[in-house]
Structure 1
Amino acid sequence: MTASAQSKNTPSRDAHVLLLAAGDIADCRKTPAETSNAALTATLVEQELKQVNQGFVVTLGDSTYPIGAFSEFRDCYDKTWGKFKSKTLPAPGNHEYGVPEAKGYFGYFGEAAGSRERSYYKKNIGTWRLISLNSNLKGTAMQEQIDWLKNELKNKDASCTLAFWHHPRFSTGGHRDNDFMEPIWRLLSSANIDLVLSGHDHNYERLAPLNADGERDNLKGMRSFVVGTGGAKLTPMFFPRAMTEVRQNEVHGVLKLRLFKASYDWEFLPVSSTNFSDRGQATCH
């Protein structure tokens, strides 16, 4: 299967920042870290980072299995993706909360993960603003995150914005849509955000640009990716929908994003030879 997307305006080939993203990563319950699928995806990341001056790694939650204990980070994640720790922008998944208050996650990533009290943050890189959100929050804690996000989106300090968290708002993977993320999705949509990344479903899916209601909008819609292919066992998918542009659950890999001044391009990098490919490019809103 192959797929690509091309904007009408070809992005300029100027200086860029590299992002490598995946979620659902390190599981050493049956395989030592050194021979795990997480080690294979880590090799891809390492090869790509060596080729650029400025590169970052984005984790989309469920960095370790089964419960996100600090020992799992130390003995499994750290031996694979840990080599990029200083360049990693993390987001927590539900498995991190297998330990109360996700203490393993916050203990491992430290200040890079924000804090247990405010587990969401932003980072400006060049002309891009990256926003890490916590999709595990509920009640008052979730509302506080939404209020923070509202204020953050008022700032016009970047020409392009990418948001990332664990539970996808829309997905045809085994977990399907996550309606509790609708308020955040609508808020981001109203601010004309460009890109959204999530994990949770153990597959790769690129969705069409969607508006606040999940309807295709090629002009102002947000393009989103589900990248749950970081190393954990891949899982079945439901039938594709009209919003699905491309998807696969046959090979692990990472999403490569190149962020230019007012545009971006993407490519799925598989860990092994496959007939599947996905690459494309677009301009920011």
Structure 2
Amino acid sequence: MAAVAAFLLALSTAACTSPPKPPEPAAPAPDVHIAAVGDMNPADNIDPDSPSGRNGAAITKLVENNGIDAFLGLGDFQYSTGYCDDYVNYWARLWGGTMPRLFWVSGPNHDWEPGRNEDLEKFMNGQCPGAPEKAAINQERRFFSSGEPYSKDFGNWHFAFLSSALWRYDKAQAAATTAWLDRDLGAARAAGKHLAVAYHEPYFTSDTEEHTRAAAQKPWIDVMWKHRVRLTLSGSQHNYERSCPVNNADKCVADGMTAFQVSTGGVDLRPFTSSPRYIEKRFSDTHGFLRLTLHGDGSFDWNFVPTTGSSTDSGTRSAP
């Protein structure tokens, strides 16, 4: 009888016990909101109504209102040569409000030339007299040199930041950075991140009278294609361009990189002198900046915001 009673008690207990709850579904990765532009402030300019002043004010407002998670400064911050006094007396007056969200790359010559001007790294670390505020990446990390690569996750996206000036000034370090990029992107891809790269001198670009494509950077492009980078951001050309999703052989392919070249921050604009087939949209008559909304599934929306002029560009790339 005791055994029967124990059996009946076990049945009763099992009937009253709730089945285990299924695991909660993982929360979707949040959207990431970014503004990006390069080639920002002409020499000696402090005019708030200039193209540079309008862009600086518009992006500063987004920073203050938490409208963006990051501002990507794509190089050539201050013309014609960036020394501490120039960053403090000119760039900071129009663009200083972007510092709390600023992630930066350096361009050759205007930003950084070893032995000539190396103050951008000091300015970004709050070491220039009269400008103690640090850029966002320096607040997070530390002082680092203009040529040192770094990476940062934004939501489900992984960004690598590179100095294209290395290909001019230190080819051995450029090659070491290629190996670093391979490891960095490989690890991020293995972790399920969607990939992006920011650097100054573009590879996917139309020619101008001043510049052609930065062909020396092909090893970086090969690594980006190897790991299926989704988008790249660059400056330098003094105009705006967007490519098709393109591979390392200049072919439009479904899983290629969408290359944005956004050098419309405030300096004089340049016309195009060639027409690559992989460029889908371009203009050289409007200053402004690019806004991106990056979704957790790898899709993204873009919108070029004109601040002086009327050309624009917007669209969506679907998830892979």
Same fold, judged at TM 0.5 (above): yes
How far 1:98 moved relative to its partner? Answer: 4.5
Q: Counterpart amino acid of 1:268?
A: F
Task: Please state if 1:28 is matched with 2:43.
Answer: yes
Query: Once superposed, what is the RMSD of the aligned Cα atoms?
Result: 2.1
Structure 1 position 283, deviation (Å): 3.0
Instruction: Give the C-alpha shift of residue 116 in structure 1.
Output: 2.0
CA distance in 2, matches of 1:182, 1:266: 26
Structure 1 pair 201–143 and aligned structure 2 pair: CA distance change class (3 A) = same
Structure 1's unaligned 5+ residue stretches are: 1-12
Could you tell me which residue of structure 2 aligns to residue 10 of structure 1? none
Q: Secondary structure at the match of 1:205?
A: strand
TM-aligned CA deviation for residue 269 of structure 1: 0.3
Structure holding more strand per residue? 1
Deviation at residue 77 of structure 1 after TM alignment? 1.2
1:266 alignment partner AA: W
Of structures 1 and 2, the one with the larger relative CO (CA 8 A, separation 6+) is: 1
SS state at 1:162 partner: strand
Deviation, 1:79, is 1.0
CA distance in 2 between counterparts of 1:47 and 1:97 reads 28
Equivalent residue number for residue 159 of structure 2:
130
The reply on whether 1:145 has 2:177 as its aligned counterpart is yes
Shift of 1:125: 1.2
In structure 1, how many angstroms separate the alpha carbons of the residues matched to 2:54 and 2:237? 19
Shift in CA distance, 38/157, structure 1 to aligned 2, threshold 3 Å = farther
Q: What's the offset of the Cα at 1:115?
A: 1.6
Aligned residues: 270
Identity of aligned residues (%): 23
Alignment of 1:102-181 (within 5 A): 102-110=117-125, 112=137, 115-116=144-145, 119-137=148-166, 138-155=170-187, 156-174=190-208, 175-181=211-217
Distance in 1 of aligned mates of 2:185 and 2:29: 26
What do residues 224-270 of structure 1 show as CA deviations (whole Å, max 9, x unaligned)? 01101011111121132211111011010000001111221100000
1:53 Cα offset (Å): 5.8
The answer to whether 1:100 aligns with 2:136 is no
> How far did 1:14 drift?
8.1
For 1:73 and 1:158, the matched residues in 2 are separated by 38
1:186 equivalent to 2:260? Answer no
Q: CA deviation at 1:127?
A: 0.5
- Where 1:185 maps in the other structure, the secondary structure is helix
Aligned match of 2:314? 279
Q: Are 1:61 and 2:90 matched, yes or no?
A: no
Secondary structure of 2:112's counterpart equals: helix
> What is the DSSP-based 3-state SS (H/G/I as helix, E as strand, rest coil) of the residue aligned with 1:65?
coil
Given that 1:26 and 1:65 are in contact with CA atoms closer than 8 Å, whether structure 2 keeps it comes out as yes
Partner of 1:231: 266
**CA drift at 1:46:** 2.8
Q: Secondary structure at the match of 1:170?
A: coil
> Could you state the TM-score of these two structures normalised by the residue count of structure 1?
0.88
Q: Give me the whole-angstrom Cα distance separating, in 1, the residues matched to 2:216 and 2:276.
A: 20
Q: Is the 8 A contact 1:61 1:199 kept in 2?
A: yes
- Cα distance in 1 for partners of 2:71, 2:264 equals 14
Match for 1:267: what amino acid? N
- Residue 216 of structure 1 corresponds to 252
Q: 1:267 aligns with which of 271, 282, 303?
A: 303
Cα distance in 1 between the residues matched to 2:83 and 2:66: 33
For residue 44 of structure 1, report the CA deviation from its aligned partner: 2.1
